[in-house]
Structures are given as C-alpha cells and as structure tokens.
Chains A and B, each alone.
Chain A
Amino acid sequence: MKRLLLAVGLLGLSLTAQAARYELVIDEGQVRFSDGVRPALTVNGQSPAPELRFQEGEAVEIVVTNKLERMSALHWHGILLPYTQDGVPGISFPGIQPGETFTYRFTVNQSGTYWYHAHADFQEQEGIYGPLIIEPKGRQPYRYDREYTVLLFDWQDEKPERTLANLKKQADYYNDQQPTLGDLLRDAKRDGWSAALKDRWDWGNMRMAKTDIADVSGFRFLVNGRDTEQNWTALFKPGERVRLRIINGSGMSYFDLRIPGLAMTVVQADGNDVQPVTVDQLRIAVAETYDVIVQPKEDKAYTLFAESMDRRGYARATLAPRAGMQGEVPELRAPRLLSMADMGMAHAGMDHGGMDHGAMADGEMAGMDHSAMAGMDHSKMSGVDHSAMAGMDHSQMAGMDHGAMNHAAMAQANNPDYAAGSGIAPEPVDGGRVLVYGDLKAMRPAAGYRAPDRTIELQLTGNMERYFWSFNGVKYSEAEPIRLKYGERVRFRFVNQTMMNHPMHLHGMWMQLDKGNGQFNPLKHVVNVAPGQTLEVDVPVDAMGEWAFHCHLIYHMGSGMFRKIVVEAADGSTQPFYSEQPAAKESEHAHH
C-alpha cells in the first residue's frame, strides 16, 4: 500500500519521550485568492491550518501559542480526550489568553479523518480550521493507492461579528432571492391564481420566506483554501484507487458534492469505518467528514463539484492525471425552495406504524406521507419492502395536485432524512444515487449496544425574525447544563421545530445515529437534523467532565443553540474543573 504520508505540514514535529510534539502559533495573517489577498486568522502562518497527522495510540503534545490580541482556543473536533484538553473556553479551560501558550496533552485512541478549529468567538470563520488525520494501528478494511484531503470552507470577506449583527438587525439581510411580485405572477401563470395566492398567504402567515435556506450569502467557497479559479488539483494515475478525505469545515454551508463520471464509495463517516456504500452524490453537513474512494480510469480530468445547498455557489476542485488539466464544470442547479413540509406543516407527529400506503392513491402531495418513512422505525417494520417504495409509481396518484407541487422535491420524496415533499432534500442528477443516513452502517458492530436507559428530548428551536436559536426555547446563556451519569446510555431525540437544517455536534463522546441499523448504527460526532424532522441518537456516556453540545452552524451556536453537558459519576459527584483526568477512560470507547 503506497500512501503519501507527507510530513510537510507537520511543522515542529519532534519526539520527546513517547509524546509526539506539535507546535502551533495562532496569529493574524492573510489568505491569497484568485483576485487578491484578504486578512485572515492563521495557524503557523497559513489558513487553512496545517494538516496534523497523529498515529493511533500515540501520546500527543500540541503546544499552542496565541499571538492574537484576544483570547483564542483550538478544539480537536471528534477526538475523544480528557475534557480539559477539549479546547472550549469556559467549559474545558479558560481559553488561551493573548500572548499565552497552552499545551494540549492527550493520547490518541482512535483513527480516521477529523479536523480542528478555533472555538473562541468566530475565529473559525476567520480562518482557523484545519484537517486532523489519524493513522490506524492496524490494517484498514479497504485498499487505496493514494489519498488526499478535501477540506471545504465558506470564506466571507466580512467580519463574522458584523454578519451576526446584520442578521440581528435585519433577519433577511443576506436573502437576495426573496419572493417578489414577479414570482407571484409567474406562479399564478403556472399554478393558477388561487393556488399562487394561497401559497403566498400561507408563507405570509408564517412570516417566513421559502428562499431562506442558508441565513447568510456572499460566501466564497474553498477547497483546501483555494477558490474555484485557483482550482485545487489532485493527481492520479488512471486506474488507481484514490481516497478522498472530505471535511466540511464551513461555518454555515452545506454542500451537495459529486464528481461527474465517478462513483464514490463511502468508507468512513466522521472518522469511523462504515460498510462501503457506493453513491453518486452526497450531502455533507457542516462539520461532518466522509471518506470516499474513487477510481478514475480514464486519462482525463474530473471535477469535484460541491454545490452549496442553496445553490448560490459552489466549491470546485480537480482530479487529473497531470497538473494544469481541467474537467468540465457542471452548471449550478436552480435554487431550491423550502416547502410547507420543511416547515413542519406535514405530519411530524403522526403514528407511522399505522399508515396506509394505499391511501396515497388519492392524496394530494401535501398529504402524501413520505415523512412517515423518515420518522418510522425501520428496524421494527420487518414486513415492509422499502425497495418497493422507491419504485412507487407516482403517475398513479390520480388526485394529486401536480400544479401545486414541487417536482424537484418529488424526485427525492423518498429521501428518508427529509420531510415528505421537502424542497431542499438533495436531488440526484440523472437518476444517480444520493447517500442517505440509513446507508451508513458501522463496519464493526458497536460493543455494548443496548436499549437506552432514558431519553432526553431536545426541541431545536429558534426565531428567524429576531435571529436567535435555542433548545426547548432557551438560549445557552439562560440554560442549565444537561446532566448525564457516567456509564448510562442516553437517547437524545432531536425534534427540529425550525425551517433550517441543524448539524448537532457533541464533544467528547460519540453519538450513535439511529437509522434502524441496530448495533451497526454508525458512530458520529455530527448529525444533521433536517427541517421539521425528528432524529434520534444514542450516547454511550463514557467520558467524565464538562462538554459542549451545540449546533455547528456558527451563527446558530453563537446566538444560543448551545448547551453544556456535565457528566457526573453515578454517585452524583463531578470532577473538579480543569483537573487532569485519567487517560484510561479513552480505551473504553467501543469502536476500535
């Protein structure tokens, strides 16, 4: 196995005793784009930050010096470690004050593709984000000839504090695709006046816009720090198997990623091996990682094309046999529109077990309950042939109101991760296959898989008009921590009451995403909860301490969608704040 273990990015790598030592300096600097330079925050003079490569099992020391004039902190996203090394100011440690140095120390007991980023105000959005790759101890269950990291990002020239203030002052500040009188006339022509006016009336009653998909616009989308013109390129020899470690390091942007002409075999999600599944497109939520293997056979350039979910732009890179080649860049697809289903107007609370598929025959689109599939427990529905649903003949839905429905959405009506008739579910190109969460099955069954001891329901809530976000209607600054007991297994049920996707991120412990695959439910550090949907994860509570738990959209996190989780011993005692922790705990994680 020929792998390019480039230590080039590992500045300051040296071995002291058994600990690998890394030195990182946070400072102001700049990034260079196709149209000039911009001020940015940097790590060792660069943004994105240098790729860190650890070995599974090694003890690492990361010496971080903050040369900014404000407090900073680095967080090792997805890494299981003592909570005092997790890097969240006010929870894990006091942060790294201006001019100070903090040494992170932990033993790496996992492998895979991760990333790291600033966890202090909005410094991540200003450039402090980088890949973190951990080489496994043993053999990997898949073969590849070379590998590349594909780190996606959404750069904005504007200061992020300014962006949040703009959103607070005028919530639709960044929506330059608002429904207009012209849209109403067009809709009326297509659907008739009564349907068009009713649609307008319904959205007006909610005081929300169906074009409000991303909160913020004006991003420049990057791959490994390069914009579309700079065209980051990875080389291959035809026939080679190329592993792409795809990381979405964006502050706010989801991407629909595809490589026209190449199928992608997903082998890892959030650093954990999954049973290989081959797809043509995948949607990567903010802060997720997916490793895919592609095998370009032809002597030509392929375009890695990552459209932002709202279709305002794309990130682009090239896989080519020789430098300087370019593949064809597809057209950006038409902007998406939220549907009433995304607003939770459909049947979120329905009893799916009793649903009558036959009733769809005369149902209208809104009533056609595909959301049923999203919420239902597949593991319990032994007799249902899901593949048959995929092939369901929509033409037989006699009474369906074709005028009022969104045909693009219908193509994806079967995406179980989104509400029925969702306007923003990822739509396949040319009948290609789109990755869904149910496809992710762990490579190895989780040890200790069992029924959860209790369930904590978290309503994902927010106020679009005032621009703040919360859990159960309560913002972080007003919330009590969530208390868990060491050793218990807790089910979190996320009920998304909003019209936005929320990538939920738990620090320090895995979330086992329940999509009905039982003990093969995959371990993830970020799970996306689609608008109007309910998603459940099980958390094996196996790490004492105080942990952050939040939506990874940076302005949602910054405006309140955040909680502290305190893991107490079974007797209710907690560990003293900022104390060292026994490293032994880390070995108890089951996935390796």
Chain B
Amino acid sequence: MRTINLLPALLLATPALAMEPHMDAMPVAKLAVDHLEQRFDGDDQALAWELEATYGNDLHKAVLKSSGERADGGPTESSETQLLYRRMASEFFDWQAGVRHDDQPGPQRSYAVLGMKGLAPQWIELDANLFVSERGDPSLRVEAEYELLLGQRWVLEPKLEYDLALADDRDLGVGAGGSTLEAGLRLNYRVSPQFSPYVGYVWEKTYGRTGDWLRDEGEHDEEGAWVLGLKFWL
C-alpha cells in the first residue's frame, strides 16, 4: 500500500494562489476517490478502491492513479499504480503518458502508458490507454463512466471497463485476444458536491484465451458482487 503513503503529501499541496498577473496559472491539487467500497460476493468480502490525485494547472498536470482490491483479512489481490503526465489536448480531452506498476501475488509487472482522458459528447467520461509491459506485451483498456441525474441528489452511475490483451503473458494468466469486461452500476446519494455514499453492483466476465486459462485453473470466469462505498474528492 505504498501508494497511499504518497497521499498526505499531495493533500498538503493545497492550491497556492499567486498574485496577479499569473493568478490564472495557479496550480490546483485534487484527490478524487471515485470508489472506496466493500464488495460482498456470497460469504466473501473485499475492499476495493480507485482513486486519482492530480496536481497542476489547466495545461499540465501530474497524475497519480491507484486502484486495487484486498480480500477481507487476506492479501492484496491486485494493486495498480500509475504515475502520469497529463497535458491538455483539446477543449475536452487530455493526452497522458507515464508508467504503471502492478503489484499482486505472483509476478510484478511494469508498463509504459500512453492514453487519452476526457469528456466525450453526452457527458461520457472516457479514459483510454495503451499499455506496453516490460516484456513488450501490449494491451488496451477503455473505461467509460456516466452520471444519470435522477434528481439533484440521487445519481445513477453506470461504468464500463474493457481490458484487451494483445499478447500472451502466461505467468499472469493473460492470453492474446483475451479480455475482461467489468460493468458497475452505482446509486449515489450526493450529500454535497464533494461527498456521495453509494450502493451498487459490479459484474466482471473474462473472455477469450484468458477466460480459458482461468477456467482451466478451476476459477470462475464470471463474478458479481454487491458494493457499498463512498465517492468523494478533496
């Protein structure tokens, strides 16, 4: 969990407001915890998180992303950290590039990252990235998120994440052409613009050769879990 240790430093970096004339270039620090949730799948429980910390001005930002899942009392099953430079590309989109490091039981992996993040028409949040592992294996990931306002406070948030491996990495159990689709539906109650507890359901299915290998090991290629969590930003 070394990722988490970096957060206090980012939190301390509050917006430093320069005097005119360069007030318009003031850097802003933001920590957005998109999901911090307990997952309930039958008798199994796990803690899952996904967060992004940014620091920078309108044009340039440094970005730290962290996501992962940790079984109740058990090991951290997956932990992914990305350190990116993000640069404004257009009115609604940014380029981003950097490194990713995965730490999980079994082999660790580091990747180079190149991608785009932004707001697509119809208010769809997109984050699309190409990863190339230290072994040279490429993979793609697209995440899309939407907020459907039922009222000013009740917000339904569908989210899709699609991972596609373009090469075999037998040690990780990832096969070329294999893919994973994760779909989530969360109902948020917006206590304030910054703070929303939520309930929801997440579902994950693994396809292709990755799925075959998973089934060969006697694992399920499809999982679902109820979630109870918090979304907030600082």
Residues of A within 8 A of B (CB): 71, 88-91, 95, 120-121, 161, 164-166, 168-170, 172-174, 176-182, 201, 204-205, 207, 463, 465-466, 468, 475-477, 558-560, 562, 564
Partner of B19, one of A95, A204, A466: A95
A170 adjacent to B233 (CB under 8 Å): yes
Given contacts A180-B150, A180-B152, contact A207 B119 (CB under 8 A): yes
A465 adjacent to B24 (CB under 8 Å): no
B17 adjacent to A168 (CB under 8 Å): no
Bound CA span A466–B149, Å:
21
A207 adjacent to B19 (CB under 8 Å): no
For B58, what are the chain A residues with a Cβ–Cβ distance below 8 Å? 168, 463, 466, 468, 475
A207 adjacent to B24 (CB under 8 Å): no
B17 adjacent to A204 (CB under 8 Å): no
A558 adjacent to B23 (CB under 8 Å): yes
Residues of chain B from 107 to 130 with CB closer than 8 A to chain A in the complex: 119, 121-123
Is B148 engaged at the interface, CB distance under 8 Å to the other chain?
Answer: yes
Is B203 engaged at the interface, CB distance under 8 Å to the other chain?
Answer: no
Is B193 engaged at the interface, CB distance under 8 Å to the other chain?
Answer: yes
Given contacts A95-B19, A120-B19, A121-B17, contact A468 B24 (CB under 8 A): yes
* Chain A CB within 10 A, most for which of B21, B22, B91, B148: B21
For B194, what are the chain A residues with a Cβ–Cβ distance below 8 Å? 170
B148 adjacent to A181 (CB under 8 Å): yes
Given contacts A170-B193, A205-B122, contact A477 B24 (CB under 8 A): yes
A204 adjacent to B28 (CB under 8 Å): no
12 more A-B contacts (CB under 8 A) besides A121-B17, A181-B148?
A89-B19, A164-B26, A165-B15, A165-B28, A170-B233, A468-B58, A475-B24, A476-B24, A477-B25, A558-B23, A559-B23, A562-B24
Given contacts A169-B28, A169-B233, contact A180 B149 (CB under 8 A): yes
A161 adjacent to B15 (CB under 8 Å): yes
A179 adjacent to B119 (CB under 8 Å): no
The residue in chain B whose Cβ has the minimal distance to the Cβ of A88 is B20
Q: What is the count of residue pairs linking A and B with beta-carbon distances less than 8 angstroms?
A: 87
Bound CA span A475–B23, Å:
10
The residue in chain A whose Cβ has the minimal distance to the Cβ of B156 is A181
B123 adjacent to A204 (CB under 8 Å): yes
Given contacts A205-B122, A477-B25, contact A90 B19 (CB under 8 A): yes
Bound CA span A169–B28, Å:
8
Partner of B149, one of A71, A89, A174, A178: A178
Bound CA span A182–B156, Å:
13
For A181, what are the chain B residues with a Cβ–Cβ distance below 8 Å? 148-151
The residue in chain A whose Cβ has the minimal distance to the Cβ of B151 is A180
Is B30 engaged at the interface, CB distance under 8 Å to the other chain?
Answer: yes
Residues of chain B from 11 to 41 with CB closer than 8 A to chain A in the complex: 15, 17, 19-26, 28, 30
Could you jot down 14 A-B contacts, CB within 8 Å?
A: A89-B19, A120-B19, A121-B19, A121-B23, A166-B193, A170-B194, A182-B150, A182-B151, A204-B122, A207-B123, A476-B24, A477-B21, A477-B25, A562-B20
For B28, what are the chain A residues with a Cβ–Cβ distance below 8 Å? 165, 168-169
Count B interface residues, CB 8 Å: 28
For A180, what are the chain B residues with a Cβ–Cβ distance below 8 Å? 149-152
B119 adjacent to A475 (CB under 8 Å): no
The residue in chain B whose Cβ has the minimal distance to the Cβ of A119 is B20
The residue in chain A whose Cβ has the minimal distance to the Cβ of B25 is A477
- A179: shortest Cβ distance to chain B, in Å? 7
Contact with A along B47-65 (1 / 0, CB 8 A): 0000000000010000000
The residue in chain A whose Cβ has the minimal distance to the Cβ of B190 is A176
For A88, what are the chain B residues with a Cβ–Cβ distance below 8 Å? 20
> Lowest 9 CB-CB distances: which A-B pairs, in order?
A560-B24, A204-B122, A180-B149, A477-B25, A205-B121, A477-B22, A165-B15, A475-B24, A169-B30
Bound CA span A173–B152, Å:
12
For B19, what are the chain A residues with a Cβ–Cβ distance below 8 Å? 71, 89-90, 95, 120-121
The residue in chain B whose Cβ has the minimal distance to the Cβ of A556 is B24
B193 adjacent to A173 (CB under 8 Å): yes
- B147: shortest Cβ distance to chain A, in Å? 10
Residues of chain B from 81 to 118 with CB closer than 8 A to chain A in the complex: 88, 91-92
Partner of A121, one of B20, B92, B121, B149: B20
For A463, what are the chain B residues with a Cβ–Cβ distance below 8 Å? 58, 91
- A158: shortest Cβ distance to chain B, in Å? 12
B92 adjacent to A90 (CB under 8 Å): no
B119 adjacent to A465 (CB under 8 Å): yes
* Chain B CB within 10 A, most for which of A164, A169, A181, A559: A169
For B23, what are the chain A residues with a Cβ–Cβ distance below 8 Å? 121, 477, 558-559
For B88, what are the chain A residues with a Cβ–Cβ distance below 8 Å? 466
Bound CA span A189–B152, Å:
20
Partner of B152, one of A71, A177, A204: A177
For A560, what are the chain B residues with a Cβ–Cβ distance below 8 Å? 24
The residue in chain B whose Cβ has the minimal distance to the Cβ of A476 is B24
Partner of A476, one of B21, B91, B152: B21
- B86: shortest Cβ distance to chain A, in Å? 12
Residues of chain B from 176 to 234 with CB closer than 8 A to chain A in the complex: 193-194, 233
Given contacts A176-B152, A182-B150, A560-B24, contact A465 B92 (CB under 8 A): yes
For A170, what are the chain B residues with a Cβ–Cβ distance below 8 Å? 193-194, 233
- B192: shortest Cβ distance to chain A, in Å? 10
For B26, what are the chain A residues with a Cβ–Cβ distance below 8 Å? 164
For A475, what are the chain B residues with a Cβ–Cβ distance below 8 Å? 24-25, 58
Bound CA span A398–B5, Å:
68
B21 adjacent to A207 (CB under 8 Å): no
- A456: shortest Cβ distance to chain B, in Å? 20
B149 adjacent to A179 (CB under 8 Å): yes
For A178, what are the chain B residues with a Cβ–Cβ distance below 8 Å? 149, 152
- A461: shortest Cβ distance to chain B, in Å? 10
Partner of B122, one of A179, A201, A477: A201
- B119: shortest Cβ distance to chain A, in Å? 6
For A164, what are the chain B residues with a Cβ–Cβ distance below 8 Å? 26
For B91, what are the chain A residues with a Cβ–Cβ distance below 8 Å? 463, 465
Bound CA span A201–B58, Å:
27
Bound CA span A463–B152, Å:
23
The residue in chain B whose Cβ has the minimal distance to the Cβ of A172 is B193
For A71, what are the chain B residues with a Cβ–Cβ distance below 8 Å? 19
For A176, what are the chain B residues with a Cβ–Cβ distance below 8 Å? 152
For A476, what are the chain B residues with a Cβ–Cβ distance below 8 Å? 21-22, 24
